Every structure is written in C-alpha cells, then in structure tokens.
Amino acid sequence: MGDNYVRIGELRLTCMHLGSLVRSKAELFRPPKTVGCVPTRTSSCRVAMDSITLGPDPPGTINPAKLFMAASANDMDAPPSWPLDPNEAQVPASQAAHPPLDPAIPRLARISSDWDPEDDIVPRENLKYEEMRCEFEQSSPSGLPPPSRRARHVSHHGYFRSQTWAQSGPRVPLDPEASPGSIVVVDKASATIYDSYLLRADIKKNLNAFHRHQITFDPCSRTYALWTREGRVGLSGQGHRRATGTDLRRLTTRFRTIFREKTGVTWSQRYGRPPQPGLRYCPVELDYRPALASRSVEARQYGTADADIHEDVRELMDVMLCGAPIPTNVDGDKSGDADARSAYTAPYEHLSPWTCFLGFKTLQRIYAYLDTARPIRWKVILSASSWYRSQIPFGAGHGRTPVISSYPAIFLELKFLYSLWPRPDMLAVLTTIHLRGTLQLSVYKMLVRPMYHAYSSLRHGFRRLTDPSTVEFRELEEYLVGSCHETHRLQIELRDIYRVFVKSNLPNPYLDWIEAASHGDGAADEERLLLWHGTPLDSLLGILDLGLQIRRRGFTWTGTMFGNGIYLADTSSKSATFCKHEAWGGAAVLLLCEADVGRHRIRSVRSMGNGPEVVAATTSRVRCIQGCGQTGPVEWKKVGWEMGGAPSTGVVRMPDTSIPYAATNSGGVLGFNEYVIYNTSHVLIRYVFRIKIKG
C-alpha cells in the first residue's frame, strides 16, 4: 500500500481475506463527535508525551517513567509491546511519529471509581438474550426440518440435534476417574447428552470455578455412574462418583437436580435466559462432533501487559483494582497470565458456535464501552469481564483471570474465539481493534498499559516505604501494633506501608484547608492528629481517586452514631473491624489520615444523630465531634519525622504507644474514641497500610 494508508498484516487468521473487510481511510479516521478527557489532536498528544522527562520530580508527585524499571529517555520513544507478533501489524514510521492532523485515534479515557447501574453491561446483555438467540439461529441454519416444540427447549431450534444423529455419534470426554471403555449416556429421542459443563467467575474475589457432571455407562459391568468434578478452571479439580447402579432413570433425576442446584434453572430450560452473574454457575454449551476435537486453538498470552511496572505500584494497584491479593500455590505460581489447562476442565476445543457467539457479543459490548469519550467505570469493566469469564473458560491456574480492559485484551480473546469459530463479522472487528490499538500505542505509548492507565487516573499517588530502619517506618509500625487492643480479638499483620500524596496539576481535595492555612485562618484552632480509617478493599480505588467522601454514591458506608461524616479512630483494631476482611480472606487496608479535629471540638459520650447540623451551627468554629470512649491513649506525642506536602504548617501528633492504652473516660456507650469530621477537606490521607487480619 502507499504511504497514505495504514497497512494491516494478515493477522495469521486463515480462511478469510482482509481485502473486502478493511475499512476505508476516511471511515477509520472519522473525526470524533466529542472530545474526551485526553486530547486527540496530534500536536496535543506530542506535547503531552514530550513533556515527560526524567528530571527531578516536583514536590508531592512522581514522574510516570519512574514507575518502570530501567526507564530511560529512549524508552519513552518506544511504544510498549502489542501482544502480537511484530510482523502482524505495521504502522509506517512517518505516521507513528506524526499521525494525521485530526485522526480518530482512540482516546485513553480516564478510569473512574464511580458506579452507575445504568452503565452495567451485563444486565443489558441479558435483556437482549432472545434477540441474540434469534440472530444466531438466523446466521447458523441447521439444514434440518423444523423442530418440535419440545426440541426448541433443549437446543437452538434443533441446531445441535445432528450431534446425536451422526453415525459415529458424539465424542464426549470422560471424567478422568471413569472406568476405561465407558461412554457418556446419550438419549437420541430427546437429543440429550448427559454431560454438563458450568462456569462461575468473579475476578475481584479471584473466583474462576468450573463444575462438570456426567452420566457414564460401563459396557463391561452394564452399570451407570454419575460423576461430578469441580475446582479452578484448567486444574484437575476434585472428582466424586455420586451414584451408581442399573437404574438410569434414578441417575438422570439426580443429574437434573444437581444442574438446578448449581444454576438455578431446570435442565429442560438450559437454553433460556442465563442465571444472575456471579451468584450461580452459568451453563456452557459444548459441541462434541468428532471433527471439532482437532481444532487448533489460539493461545492467549497476557504476560507482557504489565510486566515491567514497578513492584511498588503493581502490588497495591492489583489489590485496589481486583480485590484480594493472589495466593501463591505450591509451585510458587501466582500469575494468571499463562493460559494452561486440563482439556476436561477447560474444554476449549469443544466450545460450541453458540458459546463462541455469546462470548463475541460480550466482547463487542466491552469494546463499545471502552471506545467512548466518557470515563471508564472500573466496576463496569470488572462486572463485564467476570461475565465473559463465566461464558468462555480461561485456565489461569491459581492466579486471577485477566481483566478485559484494553484493546490488546479484547484482541487476544477475539483471536481465540476466531480460531474456534471463524466468521467474517468477527474478523472485521478483529481488524478494526488491531488498527485502533496500534494507533493508540503509537500516541500514548506506556500510558496504555492497563495497570499504569489505572494509576495515572488516580488523583492520589503512592510509594512504598522500603526501609524499615527509618524513624518514619518504625513509628508507623509501632502505632499500628501498639494501638491494636485485645478487646477487639484481632491479630493484625503488617504487609506494606505506602506514603500517599496528591499528584501535581490536579484538583486538590484539601483545597479549603490549604487556603485557610495560607491565610492564617483558624490556625490557632487547629489540632492535627494521625488517625485510622478502615475501609473494604473494593472502596480503596474510589478513595485514592477522589479522597474520603461522605456517603458518596456507589460506595459502602458505615457509622452514623454522630450523623453522616468521616469516621476516624486512634485505635487500629477499632478501624480494622470496618475492613470486612472476611470477604477477602483476611486481606485488608487501613488508612492513616492527618485530620484537623480542632481544639474546640465537641466531646460527647452519647449518640448525636444530628451531628452535621450541630457542627454547621457553629459557623466553622467547630469541625469535629469526638465520641469519647472508655479506653484510649494516655499520652500524645509529636510526629518524629518530616511529613511534607500541603498543608505543611502546624504540629501533627500521634498516640505514644509506648504507654499502654488505659481508661480515659467513665460512662458512655463507646469502648474506644472515634472522631467524626464533616468537611472532607480537613482529612488528609497520609498512608495506606496493607495488612492481614486474623480473628
């Protein structure tokens, strides 16, 4: 092709020619209707990228390139590796360095922690289930006579009845513990194959489970057996022989009962609307025709997506985006990048066209959601990715299945589906995504990496404290351990401490406090304390995005004894009770905040549900209500290290935990102190503690 066009390679996808599918240059580079939060003009993009240098960091911020190991000025000019063979797509160097004046380069939208049920992809997809079923049936004619009413319930208008009619019959894989020579029971009269494969995925809980049960017949003993096997997708799982005997009717009844218990739908209605995502297993249709078993399946390798992001950022971002940290198995494998599997527990070769069609439709919706100018709501992406993993198996071992949050991820999944079910419309989408992803890489470079894309969207940055010998680390650890009271019956194990800062050139959530301090307003009334705040793991993304909020939409909230406000404590174990660590296998985070509670704060031993109104009536003279507990710190001391960052005036104090907590107040309903702030600007997040809670 000439220099005026972006050249697309053959993509190594056989059976189709790209010539009739590649869109015209005018269509591919159609100007966007709206301008997103990231500039799309070439000049703006180049200025933004050229402004990234490796010089000294401004106070309270960090250079993006330093998030990557061995970053250099030359690294900034090289786009990150697209997860394809380099020969599969080529963008001419002239266009990569100087794209057209107004190209429709995919915008790198900001990742948002907001949640709006109206944006959720999964419910809308389920509502269109019947439309998708009709579309599939029209595009995949069976060539068979019209089926009976009963047959429509057990297959797609009889589309797969041919599996049971074939002379050689279906070849259904046997449970590994079934007797050699056994066969899976097939009822040709009802076009029923007594083999059920179910999936259930929830990425934020690292749930990637399969359940498979089947009825086999042993010709030697002339007996039937009902087998079940479940575990993580791709691993061998645990198998059991649930029943055996010569009465097939009894075993089929048990088979159907198990199916209903797992999915919530009856076996005869398995082709109806799928169950609620995440709450039940989803049936996955398999195709057992002998010719399909020899299909060559495209491997999905996610290994390089975030391979070189610095560990200081990677670990907390992984916890923040996806929930509990990935456990390490006996082989030390904690990666979900490798698509390894057992053919029985992850039967890729047997995925039916209907299953591939459902996965394709889900990927199309994720693509349409990412390809907009509006912010990307991370919870929507998590929900849609989990739903896709409940349709299409991915053998991640003990690791977490990858989130589908970028063009490269969608491309990998589409190549996989195309290798199983080559269709022109799927190839057309593959071509478009390949082009748009390549253009995006050429402009935004390392910003397109999913982990850094999410980090760069946060208003707060963070860095791990790596030297435990410093005064800062020692005193913070002593505060965590020394303020963990035996009354709460919790054991807190420290994993990491991260210093938090507000990134430069972004709206500062503490502006009111900073401006007041700069003018000397209220400085005499300040009393700044380091206090704890406990939060569930799935709230941390929103907190580091916008700061602590007061009953913000889309976030769980607790504590209304003194009305809606930000609740803090001087006892780490008290705050830890709000982390909901049981849901995450003990994994949790604690925030340590610098709070201006004020010298004239209201102290109360009783509940004050109208706390916000009481504080507002003082016309800013009071900014906090302290619920006085029966036990608390005996002494407070000045912080022994330089805090840095704005607001930087005044003295910050923390409890002296070398003196055990003791009785500080008699009466009241609170066992320990709590401090409630009603102006979010007066609570500055200083540290994030990654911890393990037992008890």
Q: What are the 10-residue block averages of pLDDT along the chain, 695 residues in total? A: 29 29 28 30 31 33 35 30 37 34 64 74 70 77 53 51 63 91 86 91 90 95 95 93 94 96 88 73 87 76 68 82 60 43 87 91 92 84 93 90 90 93 90 87 80 85 92 96 94 94 70 61 76 92 86 52 91 94 89 91 89 85 90 94 69 93 86 91 92 90
Q: What is the pLDDT of residue 26?
A: 28
Instruction: Yes or no: say if 653 and 637 are a contact pair by the CB < 8 Å rule.
Output: yes
Q: So where are the chain's domains?
A: 1-103, 109-422, 460-694
Instruction: Yes or no: say if 540 and 581 are a contact pair by the CB < 8 Å rule.
Output: no
Q: List, in order, residues 6 or more apart from 622 with CB less than 8 Å away.
A: 598, 600, 601, 602, 614, 615
Separation between Cα atoms, residue 401 and residue 365, nearest integer Å? 19
Q: List, in order, residues 6 or more apart from 2 with CB less than 8 Å away.
A: none
Report the Cα 476 to chain-centroid distance in Å: 30
DSSP state of 292: G
SS3 of 438-504? HHHHHHHHHHHCHHHHHHHHCCEEEEECCCCCCHHHHHHHHHHHHCCCHHHCCEEEEEEEEEEEECC
Query: Nearest to residue 322, comparing CAs of 409, 208, 203?
Result: 203
- The structure tokens 């509006």 sit at 374
Q: Which fold has domain 460-694?
A: Phosphoenolpyruvate Carboxykinase; domain 3 (3.90.228)
Q: What is the pLDDT of residue 41?
A: 30
Q: Which two tokens stand for residue 347?
A: 């039967």
Separation between Cα atoms, residue 343 and residue 294, nearest integer Å? 12
Q: What is the pLDDT of residue 503?
A: 80
* Beta-strand relationship, 207-218 and 223-232: antiparallel
Q: What is the pLDDT of residue 584?
A: 83
Report the Cα 419 to chain-centroid distance in Å: 26
pTM: 0.78
Separation between Cα atoms, residue 609 and residue 564, nearest integer Å? 8
Q: What is the pLDDT of residue 497?
A: 96
Radius of gyration of the chain (CA): 29
SS3 of 197-234? EEEEEEHHHCEEEEEEEEEEEECCCCEEEEEEEEEECC
Q: What is the pLDDT of residue 521?
A: 55
Q: What is the pLDDT of residue 493?
A: 94
Q: What is the pLDDT of residue 325?
A: 63
Report the Cα 659 to chain-centroid distance in Å: 42
Separation between Cα atoms, residue 418 and residue 411, nearest integer Å? 10
> Cα-Cα-Cα-Cα dihedral of 555, 556, 562, 563, to 10°?
50
Q: What is the pLDDT of residue 28?
A: 26
Q: Is 98 exposed, middle or buried (0-12, 13-18, 19+ CB in 10 A)?
A: exposed
**Alpha carbon distance, N-terminus to C-terminus of the chain:** 66
β-strand partners of 502? 460
